[in-house]
Amino acid sequence: MSERMKVEGSMVALVTPFADGAVDYDALGRLIEFQIANGTQGLVPCGTTGESPTLSHAEHDKVIEFTVEKAGGRVPVIAGTGSNSTSEALRLTRHAKEAGADACLVVNPYYNKPTQQGMYEHVAALAGAELPIVLYNIPGRTGIEMSPATVARLYNDIEYVVAIKEATGKLDMASEIAASCDITILSGDDSLTLPICAVGGSGVISVLANILPAEVRTLCDAITDFDMAAACTQHLKLFPLCKAMFVETNPIPIKASLAMAGMIRNELRLPLTPLSQKCRPELARLLKEFGVEIQE
């Protein structure tokens, strides 16, 4: 790799639609076309929002293959290939490369709680697949946090490490990373996209973009253009809906939103369950404010 891949702008953490327990590829294809038509600059299948923990390895592989084929090179595909088993993550990453993915998203190993050295060696092993790597720091899901020093060490030592999805919820973390190395920083929280970009970030891997891709792209374009007034206006406009996407565990609210809009079935895999009835009226109200036609 002579030059590191640029990963920036408005990208979507794709949901995985289901129908009667199986992956609904017709719906997934429609979602991909909807994203590309509305300005999304990158597709991220098989992350947390894509319910990767309950996808079989065969399903995981096929969703990535399908997304790469459907995208057809129009936008980059960053395949979720993380696992708390390094050997499993390496197999998934190698498959993503073979399938034609442009990069991979690698979450910190969860549950077994490795040390900073363990996280470093985990990523170093995955670099053997020779596919650009986007690190993923989300301690709320994994129980561990990769330190800015480890991020900088990985970026400086391994040419395949190109970016980090920063979802610690701490602006100081993004600032520390930006001050310690030149890695591309992407927001992992929709409500923090503008603040993170204000301290050195370059875009977002967005949950909200599943339902409002053009609106998230508008925010990212304003940031890229250094139009702070427009960016702040769009941030505040989107903020209530950003928060609504997490009234229950992600991807429960975003799947409910897409189902309300008639784009997918409101189907998740246990242990996740559909959005509770008490949360639905407010979510529907917020979606209507953005012109989403509620069909259920």
Considering all CA atoms of the chain, what is the largest pairwise distance in Å, rounded to the nearest integer? Answer: 53
Distance CA 145, CA 109 (A): 10
- Supply the residues annotated as catalytic: 136, 165
DSSP secondary structure code for residue 279 in this structure: G
Cα end-to-end distance, the chain, whole Å: 49
Distance CA 96, CA 51 (A): 17
Distance CA 219, CA 206 (A): 12
Residue type, 20: D
E-strand ranges in 138-183 read: 161-166
- Tokens read off for 121: 């060696």
- Tokens read off for 153: 């060490």
Distance set, CA 244 to CA 48, 62, 239, 249 (Å): 17, 31, 9, 11
E-strand ranges in 14-143 read: 18-19, 22-23, 42-44, 78-80, 103-107, 133-137
- Tokens read off for 263: 């784009």
Answer positive or negative: Cα dihedral of 113, 118, 124, 128: negative
